[in-house]
Structure 1
Amino acid sequence: MSQYKIPVQTVHTGILQDNTVMLGERSMKKLKIPAHSTIQLAFGSLRQEVTVIPVPKSDSLRVSEGLASRTGWKRRQSLGASYSSGSRTLRLGPLIGVLVSRDHPDNPDRLFGQITLFCRELTNACRAQGACVYFFTPEALEMRSSSIQGWVYDEGWRKQSLPVADVINNRLTSRKAENKTSVQHFLAEVKSRYGTHFFNEKFLDKTEVFEALAQDAALQRYLPESHAFSGFAVLKKMCSHYPSVFLKPVRGSLGKGILRISREDGGGYRLLSTTQLGTRKQSFPSLTKLFQAVAPKMKSTRYQIQQGLPLMELGRRPVDFRALVQKNGTGKWGVTSIVARTAGSNHFVSNLARGGSLSTVKEAVGKSNLSPGAKESVQIQLPKAALAIARGVETYIPAHFGELGIDIALDQSGRIWLLEVNSKPSKNDNTPLNDQKIRPSVKQMVLYCRYLAGL
């Protein structure tokens, strides 16, 4: 993506009025802006008519302190720029907004909890690419306004009134917050009023994903048999077909509430359930007795029942893979990373929150119990499957996604299976971060925002 960046400086309001800007002749020539003309300056939802005064032998844009205060611009920074002669509009940015669940003003070092360092990293990535970013919570949307109270970082966090962003990334971690009337109304309004792009706009539930992807014959090979759990009849049928089955909360995350049911040699059934301390094991003489024990859980929570899979193992611990699939600077899906996750001791799920550990695909597959032939094809087939699944989600689920966490697994013959698709991939601080280095996943997010904004 080609991009022209302009260094922006603020000057005292006494020198420049809000409706006048000084622009270097080199930038004016590059952008084809006529001298001493009146144009519209656009930054997010902000529109300001300004008269342009050319400055010889310069490429910078100088604006008044008053105008800078309405945009959140620092004294010196560079912004992406494009000029449309048809509408006489100079667009700067893009301006990116990130909708987060909560803030903690009394704890500035952990202002956004576990994702605070990610927010700092995203700020740095935006500066490097000529973009601006701010972070806001659903509470900022309670008051109807054309501006938003958002947090920006510049040698410390500060809150200020900012324009509505060109692009908004939904990082809400609560369905309740996402479904708030104020949130849904705001999103509908800014889309129609300002043309704001909003991605990862909704949570996915497991049944929705599997039913959607089942419409595509090419994706069916990745789908274990799955059904919305409706009662004893479907449990009996699935247990008669497979040595083990899983019951998963349709809206669960982090491995919470997952149940594994398997037949025992003596004719009874074993139930494994996830707890904070490890795996709880129970035995039942019949499937009827087991169902009576778990039925109360099903009354308050919707579950999906899924075929159990004999997963690839490392040291008798099951392994699965998390692929981060993101849209890039041309709006196309690409695989940013795939990591292997090995279940912790005394656990049957691989989530890091349950004691799981990370390794590279090559390392995990190399040490696994897969056949030599299967090991060779995995490195190519895993990203191919992740991409196909991401495209399927986009095709069959009517929502805008810019990144997806796709959990896939290999069975012991090397066949690839889909376990889950997450529309809010983790950005927690347990991911390796480095103040000097910006991760590819964060750079990719900014590139996609630039693509959406056309800057």
Structure 2
Amino acid sequence: MPSKKIKVQIMSPNLLDNDYLVLGEQLIRQWRIPIHYPIQLAFGSFRHTVKVIPLARFDGVRISQELAGKMGVLPRSSLRLSYRPHSTTLQFGPLVGVLISRDYAGASDRPFGPITMFCRELVKACQRQGVYVYFFTPNHIGTTSKSLQAWVFGDSWKQITVPAADVFYNRLTTRKLENKPSVQHFMKEVKSRYGSHFFNEKFLDKTEVFDALGRDVSVSRYLPESHLFRGYPTLKMMCGKHPIVFLKPIKGSLGKGIIRISRLEGGGYQSMTALVGGTKRQVYSSLTKLYSALSPKMKTTRYQIQQGLVLIESDRRPVDFRALVQKNRSGAWNITSIVARTAGSQHFVSNLARGGSLSTVKEAVSRSSLPIGVKSRVSAQLRKAALDIARGVDAQISAHFGELGIDLAVDHHGRIWLLEVNSKPSKNDNTPMGGSKIRPSVKQVIEYARYLSGF
């Protein structure tokens, strides 16, 4: 059944009873909605029995102030409306809940700190499509999953009680918060009890991704040799096969703690460790001495050891590529953007947090030493690789993802390699925010939420 974006008018208590709802005659006829007969009103987990009153030449919906309060709907909202005849249910929505890490109740203009503008952009995108969105943190989760306190935006930010959403979008930034028993219990409850969808429901670690994708023949060609680091024998084996290897924390992000190990021509080994202010270089006369120096770190952090690649360069700095891959209005993976990331002058990793810079794929590839015939194919090959890998993650990992940040590399032969898959991609790697413009990455999140909820 199709849905229709419709304006919600909230009536004062003496003008409309809580158990009645006013709709235009034309929509009632078109959808064959029974009038003066009890039907179910649904909004997320909220349910209420109402009778529909027809009104001539009216194109909105009127509900009582009390009913709006129970639904958590603000004045002047526009929502999508759909009628499900098999269950005689009039459904408002979709209702989308965004789970974020923290809020600042005292800062009414910036309640979510640095991501407040992103949240406002989501609100704007939802308003245009007739979607209702709220924001909550793990601290808002109470003893019942049926409703919770959350932030909504009308004329300003405020907290109200809202029902459990049709679709939840997980934007938690730490594994510690995501693994809290209250969060895990809430996720299971809303899915089993109300049929809610919860996407980007977990962080990925490097070992899990590479082991899973290694089982997929359509994706394995993009994978550099990679193993869970298990001690000196693993290091010796990988350094014997590859002139450069990388040690990456399996739960790391933003390039933190990555160690690059390379064989030196005159003998011995060099390690380069990514630090906030630059790179720490050390030289060792043997692999055993290098391992002895690194082993204290290995006791507290689990690492993935990965084949080093000779990447294309721009101005003698290594370049890699971040593809933002999202599911669209049809539920299929789609490339939203691909950007090139060039490492900063004092770094060997390309993250913006480590001084890296962004450019278009075309600009970065044109400045590389790849042959002209290879350069012309790189963009299409990156797109194909990103889609192949996203589909591989879906097929091989039992979790629900709606968007992925996929880091890819191109070596000096033009071959595409996977570096990393991130299930909580930053929203700052595409078009800058500003004005009334809504970035494609934000619009796509809402489109996918509509697909999941049937609106």
Structure 1-normalised TM-score? Answer: 0.98
Aligned residue for 2:432, secondary structure, equals coil
Partner of 1:446, secondary structure, is: helix
Query: Which residue pairs with 1:83 in the alignment?
Result: 83
Query: SS at the partner of 1:110?
Result: coil
Give the SS at the match of 1:59.
Answer: coil
Q: Secondary structure at the match of 1:177?
A: helix
Is the CA contact 1:214–1:223 (under 8 Å) kept in the aligned structure 2? yes
Runs of 4+ in structure 1 over 4 Å off:
428-431
2:230 aligned partner, one-letter code: S
Q: 2:351 and 2:3 mapped to 1: Cα distance?
A: 40
Q: Report how far residue 108 of structure 1 moved.
A: 2.7
Q: Tell me the residue number matched to 1:340.
A: 340
Instruction: Report the AA paired with residue 155 of structure 2.
Output: E
Provide the rounded CA distance (Å) in 2 between the counterparts of 1:203 and 1:374. 35
Q: What residue is the counterpart of 1:36 in the other structure?
A: 36
> What amino acid is aligned across from residue 147 of structure 1 in structure 2?
S
Deviation at 1:59, TM superposition (A): 1.6
Shift of 1:3: 3.7
Residue 421 (structure 2) aligns with: 421
> Could you tell me the percent identity over the aligned residues?
61
Distance in 1 (alpha carbons) for counterparts of 2:241 and 2:108: 54
1:222–1:418 CA contact under 8 A, matched in 2 = yes
Output the CA distance in 2 between the equivalents of 1:27 and 1:78.
Answer: 16
The Cα of 1:2 is off from its aligned counterpart by: 5.7
What one-letter code is carried by the residue in structure 1 that aligns with 2:398? P
Matches within 5 A, 1:304-319: 304-319=304-319
Matched with 1:258 is 258
- Kindly tell me: are residues 84 and 16 of structure 1, through their superposed partners in 2, closer, same or farther at Cα, counting changes over 3 Å? same
RMSD: 1.4
Whether contact under 8 Å (2:83, 2:91) holds in the other structure is: yes
Distance 1:404 1:374 in 2: 27
> Is contact 2:100-2:137 (8 Å) kept?
yes
Shift of 1:430: 9.4
Which SS does the other structure have where 2:53 is aligned?
strand
Cα offsets for 1:196-226 (capped at 9, x unmatched) = 0000111100000000000012211100000
In structure 2, distance between residues paired with 1:155 and 1:365: 46
Q: Cα–Cα, structure 1 residues 320 and 221, in superposed 2: closer, same or farther, change >3 Å?
A: same
Structure 2 residue aligned with 1:120: 120
Q: Residue 187 of structure 2 aligns to a residue in which SS?
A: helix
Task: Name stretches of at least 5 consecutive residues in structure 1 with no aligned partner.
Answer: none
8 Å contact from structure 1 (residues 246, 260) kept in 2: yes
Displacement of 1:431: 6.3
Deviations 1:33-88, CA, capped at 9 Å, x for gaps: 12222211100000011111101111210011111122232222221111011211
Per the TM alignment, residue 27 of structure 1 is displaced from its structure 2 partner at its CA by: 2.0
Relative distance call for 1:142 and 1:298 in structure 2 (3 A) is: farther
Moved more, 64-73 or 178-187: 64-73
For the 8 Å contact 2:142–2:148, the answer to whether it is kept is no
1:428 deviation in Å? 5.2
| Distance across 1 between alignment mates of 2:138 and 2:261 | 40
Quote the offset at 1:354 in angstroms: 0.3
Cross-structure match for 2:406: 406
Distance 1:5 1:404 in 2: 29
Report how far residue 266 of structure 1 moved.
1.5
Partners of 1:343 and 1:95 lie apart in 2 by: 41
Deviation at 1:114, TM superposition (A): 2.2
Per-residue Cα deviation, 1:336-368 (whole angstroms, up to 9, x for no partner): 100000001110000000010111111111111
Match of 2:396 in 1: 396
Helix, strand or coil: the match of 1:81?
Answer: strand
Q: Indicate conservation of the 8 Å contact 1:320/1:341, yes or no.
A: yes
Match of 1:278 in 2: 278
Task: Show structure 2 runs of 5+ residues with no match.
Answer: none
1:13 aligns with 2:47: no
TM-score by length of 2: 0.98
**Whole-angstrom CA distance in 1 between matches of 2:328 and 2:3:** 15
Contact between 1:117 and 1:429, CA under 8 Å: does it hold in 2?
no
1:4-153 to structure 2, matched below 5 A, reads 4-153=4-153
Q: What displacement does 1:179 show?
A: 0.8
* 1:144 alignment partner, SS class: coil
Find the counterpart in structure 1 of residue 386 from structure 2: 386
How far apart are 1:32 and its partner, in Å?
Answer: 2.0
Letter of the structure 2 residue corresponding to residue 286 of structure 1: S
**One-letter amino acid of the counterpart of residue 126, structure 2:** C
- The residue matched to 2:334 in structure 1 has which SS? strand
Question: Contact 2:18 / 2:67 at 8 angstroms: preserved in 1?
Answer: yes
Q: Distance in 2 between matches of 1:416 and 1:6?
A: 47
Kept in 2, the 8 Å contact 1:115–1:427? The answer is no
| Residues 114 and 428, structure 1, Cα contact 8 Å, conserved in 2 | no
1:145 deviates by 4.9
> Per the alignment, do residues 85 and 60 of structure 1 end up closer, same or farther by CA in structure 2, a change over 3 Å counting?
same
Determine the C-alpha separation between the residues in 2 that align with 1:188 and 1:44: 16
Distance 1:277 1:76 in 2: 49
Q: CA deviation at 1:146?
A: 1.9
Q: What is the Cα deviation at residue 110 of structure 1?
A: 2.8
The DSSP-based 3-state class of the residue aligned with 2:337 is strand
Aligned equivalents of 1:233, 1:260: Cα separation in 2: 17
Distance 1:429 1:376 in 2: 23
Segment of structure 1 superposing worse, 383-392 or 180-189: 180-189
Separation in 1 of the partners of 2:405 and 2:350? Answer: 14
Distance 1:74 1:397 in 2: 39
Count of aligned pairs: 455
Matched to 1:21, the amino acid is: L
Aligned partners of 1:182 and 1:268: how far apart in 2?
Answer: 50
Contact in 2 for aligned 1:118/1:428 (Cα 8 Å): no
1:429 Cα deviation from its structure 2 partner: 9.8
CA distance in 2, matches of 1:98, 1:435: 22
| Cα shift at 1:94 | 0.1
